[in-house]
Amino acid sequence: GSTATAYARAVFEVLGADAVTVSPYLGLDAVAPFLAYSGKAVFVLCYTSNPSAAAIQEFGPAGRPLFEHVLQEAATWGGPDQIAFVVGATRPEALRQVRRLLGNGGNWILAPGIGAQGGDLAAALQAGLTAGGSGLIVPVSRSVIYADDPRAAARELRDSINRQRQAVRAAATPSTFPSASSASLILALHDAGCIQFGEFTLASGVQSPVYLDLRRMAGDPGLLRQAAAAYTRLLQPLQFDRLAAVPYAALTIGTAVALAAEKPLVYPRKEAKGHGTGQIVEGPFVRGETVAVIEDLVTSGGSVLRAIETLRSAGLTVKDVVVLIDREQGGPENLAEAGYRLHAAMTMTLVVETLTTAGRLSSEQSAALKTYLTQSKE
């Protein structure tokens, strides 16, 4: 009440500031006096950049962490020209989710944490910019003021930001912009060694210039949680009773998704047990129930179809298959021909384009990979 009013007067009238950062903890009562000033903005703390922030700001039921509740509540306190948010650049997955909840537009986001705190500029910009390449304020201090040439460091930072903005604007077509919000997940997968480039022989015997080892996510709880959130968003509109993870690669992923989506999990065995109950599907279920199949990726769809055959033989119904990455090598078509719908968080083409935009792949590597993908579809 009166204390907040005095603070607002001091900030906007005495100091002449244009905006102020506030804590949402006291609710609208403590923020309303700041909103009474026309032409001024309030930056609401949403997900801060410090290492221990997750313990508080991700608290809450699965799929509804505290920072999302803060965002959706504070967004009702005023228009996009009044209400902005603070989301750390060290948390690109949170930045991406905040921008998605804001409808990929609207409110400004202040994203501290680039430079000394370890935030990745490319990941933050890909996750937090609007479709128009705007809406994000990136404060950088120590990396500039402690540089040998602060002026040159500031210019380099500015130019890097503008290159990323141009890339986001170029990608922001109605068909591709929602997928571009997966950029931070793609960069994190690459950092973790889940996406590797070179010369590899796939299980099918086919030679490939790219190898996807999504089992490595098991060693990174934050990355696993980020991937589980991507699966959960794909699952939201689907109708099913249980999840069914394809062994072995998707077992860890399926468990993470089951926890995030609060759905029961079963999995088909690759071979029937030779002892005990002789189950071919592990986990409780009722014949006639529908399961959504969870797989790490799809190439031709062969392993998924074999798993589905096992599930169906146990009396379960399958309509949908959900994967993190579609390698675009016939999987969707083969599954559709068998009567199943594939839902992928990203395609291999999007992975290549995102890594190229982020400077992780050269233009020559990108061209070679796109040629490989095109030939794989033929």
Domain map of the chain by residue range? 2-172, 183-377
d(CA 320, CA 290): 9
pLDDT value, residue 255: 97
Q: For domain 183-377, is the CATH number 3.40.50.300?
A: no
- N-to-C CA span, the chain: 68
pTM for this one? 0.56
| CA 80 vs CA 19, 29, 40, 43, 135: distances in Å | 13, 19, 11, 11, 10
The reply to whether domains 2-172 and 183-377 share a CATH topology is no
Question: Cα 101 vs. chain centroid, distance in angstroms?
Answer: 12
Q: pLDDT value at position 356?
A: 87
For 2-172, CATH number? 3.20.20.70
- Summarize pLDDT for 294-318 with one digit per residue, the tens: 999 999 899 999 999 999 999 999 9
d(CA 168, CA 162): 10
Give rounded-to-5 percent helix, strand, coil for the chain. Answer: 45, 20, 35
Q: Per-residue pLDDT tens for 21-76? A: 999 999 999 999 999 999 999 999 999 988 888 889 988 876 678 998 898 888 88
Average pLDDT, integer, range 279-307: 95
